[in-house]
Amino acid sequence: MNRRSRGATLVELVITIVIISVAIAGVVGAFALISGRSADPLNETRAVALAQLYMDEIITQKYDDQTPQGGVPRYNGGCSIGPEGSETRSTFDDVDDYDGLNDSPPASALSVLSGYSGFSVAVTVVCAGDEVGLPVSQAKRIDLTVSAPADSQFVFSAYRANF
């Protein structure tokens, strides 16, 4: 029998097994890294949608409690922050009422939102007219922080001018 036609030796089999093991370990490591972050884009998208929902609700409110419906004539008082009296979210009627709002889990003005477990929303409102070239009392900045699962935080800001 010819020596060249006998098959693989034990050394060749061991080397082949080692090479295949190293390749599989690399592929499994890369897969674990990718799959561990697969929820990040989904959480980012949900955070943006949640922020849009809250900002839409806040921005549509009056500038100040004293502002007439429609905003005319313009409110000429100072810049006050915080709810007046014992207002609740369903009775908020101006932008600064939302200052200090912390929702966990997030909710609309009427009910808890489904599909947002692990998310929370915090709102801060400050007088900030000077940041946009107006007198301080003529604009309010709304800062909205959405906390997503896995300790991700997204901060959104908008201005509401006195008009």
- Report DSSP letters for 119-131, one per residue: -EEEEEEEE-GGG
Question: In this structure, are 62 and 23 located in the same domain?
Answer: no
Question: Phi first, then psi: what are they for 68, rounded to 5°?
Answer: -70, 155
Task: Give the Cα separation of 97 and 63 in Å (integer).
Answer: 10
Q: Residue 3: pLDDT band by 50, 70, 90 thresholds?
A: low
Question: In this structure, are 24 and 62 located in the same domain?
Answer: no
Q: Residue 71: pLDDT band by 50, 70, 90 thresholds?
A: low
Task: Give the Cα separation of 140 and 128 in Å (integer).
Answer: 5
Segment 9-16 shows an average pLDDT of 89
Question: In this structure, are 84 and 128 located in the same domain?
Answer: yes
Residue 55 identity: M
Task: Give the Cα separation of 40 and 48 in Å (integer).
Answer: 12
Helices (H) and strands (E) in the chain, counts: 2, 4
What is the reported pLDDT for 21? 94
Q: What burial class does residue 67 get, using C-beta atoms within 10 Å of its C-beta: 0-12 exposed, 13-18 middle, 19+ buried? A: buried
Least confident of 74-78, 137-141, 155-159: 74-78
Question: In this structure, are 15 and 95 located in the same domain?
Answer: no
pTM, two decimal places: 0.69
Residue at 17 is within a domain: yes
Residue at 149 is within a domain: yes
Residue at 116 is within a domain: yes
Q: Residue 16: pLDDT band by 50, 70, 90 thresholds?
A: very high
What is the reported pLDDT for 67? 76
Question: In this structure, are 24 and 100 located in the same domain?
Answer: no
Question: In this structure, are 88 and 117 located in the same domain?
Answer: yes
Lookup: tokens for 105 = 């889990």
Given a cut of 80, is residue 127 above it in pLDDT?
yes
Question: In this structure, are 53 and 133 located in the same domain?
Answer: yes
Structural domain harbouring 92:
39-161
Question: In this structure, are 44 and 82 located in the same domain?
Answer: yes
Question: In this structure, are 15 and 84 located in the same domain?
Answer: no
Q: Is the CB of residue 102 less than 8 Å from the CB of residue 111?
A: no
How many domains does one find in the chain? Answer: 2
Question: In this structure, are 26 and 61 located in the same domain?
Answer: no
Number of residues assigned to the chain: 163
| CA of residue 45 relative to chain centroid, distance | 8
Task: Give the Cα separation of 163 and 161 in Å (integer).
Answer: 6
Question: In this structure, are 29 and 83 located in the same domain?
Answer: no
Question: What does pLDDT average to over the chain?
Answer: 82
